[in-house]
Chain A
Amino acid sequence: MTATLLTGARPLGGDPTDVLLADGVVAALGADARTHDAARDARVVDADGLVLLPGLVDLHTHLREPGREDAETVASGTRAAALGGFTAVHAMANTTPTQDTAGVVEQVWRLGRDAGYADVHPVGAVTVGLEGERLAELQAMARSAARVRVFSDDGKCVHDPVVMRRALEYVKAFDGVVAQHAQEPRLTADAQMHEGVVSAELGLTGWPAVAEEAIVARDVLLAEHVGSRLHVLHLSTAGSVEIVRWAKARGIDVTAEVTPHHLVLTDELVRGYDPRYKVNPPLRTAQDVEAVRAGLADGTIDTVGTDHAPHAREDKDCEWAAAAFGMTGLETALSVVQQVMVDTGRFTWADVARVMSAAPARIGRLDGQGRPIAVGEPANLTLVDPTARRVVVPEQQATASVNSPFAGTELPGRVVATFLRGRATVLDGALVEPGVPA
């Protein structure tokens, strides 16, 4: 593998410097980069003005394989990930068959390794078939080649309090974490959108904020009681932010995620009944959007997870009630975070690295991801042009699905290059195929 010299890059948005990548690691920084032995034959990437971040890590990706390869495959999803600046993704367990055995998680892990665009870490189901009744063989998944550490029934809530308690306790044996999709099922039967002023007018069954908050509140108390760590997925309401803030102040080991779409879109968009805006948890109000931004800014919310949820065209090209829940997000996440957090002055690029790389890597217990940009560290990196602007065209994205809520929208920032252990997966904004010398 050839070495790569990034010239004039700004690590975490700081002062420009040269960065040499060789043998899969950051071999040299600053003046040493050009004089290093490996720099002699290095490919030079002009990174003047570009921000250098640790490769992004997503704790919340739906890759759909096995089972719905018409919507996404591990290969297409990880190509999208690389283009979005990610070097690692966690593949959610709601596949067919479910990722609830060592066999299935190893299959997905191998598909990721074979594809080669980003590390794929399968999430293990908490319960067999996501049914919420019996614990899946969590230890077997943890000890498999896939080394599962994150467990979730995402798409469904582990709603039975006893099952949730047992899961929280059980994963302590292998330093796992339960990532909860907080949705009280009885309060959300047939729910179609956020319950409030807009749902009242549109005649769509409401998904009340309390259905999320009641589970978040219960789970932080359970986590405290049994001394386990809990991760709350796609937190979407002002009330949930308050509860997590309270729990952290109390010393409870809880982390929380927000999605890019909940940072910027509101339930007002549902007025046109366009199923692109149908997502679970639903788009909330402007007050909720401001609350999750504030929670992300003050550290109450630890991570931005994409909840990248590709769907086949026919599952969105229909009336609202018949449409599937979910939005794509891998190729727009960083731009949305730049727009709502960096360009507004609420975040530095170091903060972006924290919530999109370091924190998710730590929660997922990944070695070699989310690391500082320092000599000797694995060269999982992404280069971003924050001055670029681009219009989102779903048909031109690498994801196999087109259900982006940002179609036709102009967003700031563009991923110029992504490096996975020193090898470029993206250069000049285009994918580099793994077979090609890079």
Chain B
Amino acid sequence: MRHLLSAADLSPAQAVHVLDTAAQMAATQAREIKKLPTLRGRTVVNLFFEDSTRTRISFETAAKRLSADVINFSAKGSSVSKGESLKDTALTLQAMGADAVVIRHQASGAPHTLAHAGWTSGAVVNAGDGMHQHPTQALLDAYTLRRHLVGDRGTTDTTGRDLAGLHVAIVGDVLHSRVARSNVQLLRTLGARVTLVAPPTLLPVGVHTWPATVSYDLDDALATRPDAVMMLRVQRERMSSAGGGFFPSPLEYTRGYGLDARRLATLPDHAVVLHPGPMNRGLEISADAADSPRAVIVEQVANGVAVRMAVLYLLLAGDGTRTTRTTDETKVPA
């Protein structure tokens, strides 16, 4: 693995290996001294063309806990709106000797271009590009699902395990969601079954070719007793005519596709609720649902650091040329 651009880049073995490595990373984080010397002397650049404090902080924390030097480069709001800026910025970062570039960009494919245009020799990690991909989000979601739903509900060692047999409902604005695209691919890679639930206006033309079942009815989908429900953020602007007129009103959306206490109660006892954040409480998820014991939303944040530590570690310190590895080859230095 030279870059992490898309969840589709990961083979089943690679995906499980990232999760296993993340588990090892998480174990070190329970210690008093959290910092590992693994990436000492390496430089990780957080290149954010789009605001996302939470994702940036998560990557920054991950890199620092591995002792990497971190440069935060926020290109948002500067005079750069045209593409040339991505190239110039990349060349600048190359001159600074970036070993890895973590990029968030509003244009789908920008990380791909950065990785393949010859502008940087560093590893590129996609931290979210337009409506395309957000692979570390999918990995942290998979990690969270594995912790809660695989083995004996978190009490046994899940090393080497995938998500075979699990059923996950992904609910909301699939059309504009990089989280949904990444999750559909990764969950499939890990053996889980996916149902996408959305009004037809918020599903892309072409979704029928995705490895997922599609439902327009949330209650029907919940009646199939999924093991997990992943709620997607819905932007209020989408309902306006200027925003595309995707649904008539927030109230109608919430009635049809919001997760509230009533719907939560229909889920199996073991089922968990995920949300990539930030939540629109009262729109796609009610406060009851967001704060219920089944919601693992806060834990997703902590798992995000462990997963991003694993990704940076595997890209910068792991043997990047191998496609499959056993766990002993990649013991995290203590």
Contact = CB atoms under 8 A, between A and B. Distances in A.
A200 B83 contact: no
Given A196-B205, A273-B112, A319-B110, A203 B132 contact: yes
Contacts of B114: 319
A314 B117 CA distance: 13
Contacts of A321: 83, 106-110, 130
A284 to B, nearest CB: 13
Interface in B200-255: 204-207, 209-210
Contact of A202 (B84, B117, B132): B132
A320 B113 contact: yes
Given A319-B83, A319-B105, A200 B206 contact: yes
A272 B109 CA distance: 8
Given A197-B206, A204-B108, 6 more contacts: A197-B209, A200-B210, A204-B132, A317-B87, A318-B82, A318-B84
Contacts of A203: 108-109, 129-133, 178, 181
B113 A273 contact: yes
A199 B206 contact: yes
Given A201-B181, A203-B181, A204-B131, A322 B206 contact: no
A208 interface: yes
A317 B108 contact: no
Given A197-B209, A201-B206, A208-B205, A319 B133 contact: no
A241 to B, nearest CB: 20
Interface in B111-146: 112-114, 116-117, 129-133
A201 B132 CA distance: 7
B84 A317 contact: yes
B82 A195 contact: no
Contacts of B132: 202-204
A319 B86 CA distance: 7
A360 interface: no
Contacts of B181: 201, 203
Contacts of A318: 82-84, 86-87, 113
A321 B109 CA distance: 8
19 contacts: A197-B209, A199-B206, A201-B206, A201-B210, A202-B109, A203-B130, A203-B131, A203-B132, A204-B132, A206-B204, A208-B205, A314-B84, A318-B82, A318-B84, A318-B86, A319-B83, A321-B109, A321-B110, A322-B82
Interface string A298-324: 000000000000000010011111110
Nearest to A200: B206
Contact of A195 (B106, B108, B205): B205
Interface in A193-229: 195-206, 208
Contacts of A208: 205
B21 to A, nearest CB: 27
Contacts of A323: 83
Contacts of B87: 317-318
Contacts of A273: 108-109, 112-113
Contacts of A200: 204-207, 209-210
B109 A320 contact: yes
A101 B87 CA distance: 39
Nearest to B205: A195
Contacts of A196: 205-206
Given A200-B210, A203-B131, A319-B107, A272 B112 contact: yes
Interface in A397-432: none
A351 B277 CA distance: 60
A314 B320 CA distance: 33
Contact of A272 (B116, B178, B209): B116
Interface in B246-304: none
Contacts of B117: 317
Contact of A320 (B107, B178, B207): B107
Nearest to A313: B84
Nearest to B209: A197
A197 B206 CA distance: 4
A319 B205 contact: no
B184 to A, nearest CB: 10
A342 to B, nearest CB: 34
Interface in A102-137: none
A73 to B, nearest CB: 23
B12 to A, nearest CB: 19
A195 B112 CA distance: 20
Interface string B92-111: 00000000000001111110
Contacts of B83: 314, 317-319, 321-323
Contacts of A320: 107-110, 113
Interface string A261-292: 00000000000110000000000000000000
Interface string B27-55: 00000000000000000000000000000
Contacts of A272: 112, 116
Contacts of B108: 192, 202-204, 273, 320-321
A314 B84 CA distance: 6
Listed from nearest, the 8 A-B pairs whose CB atoms lie closest are A318-B83, A322-B83, A200-B206, A203-B132, A273-B109, A203-B131, A321-B107, A200-B204
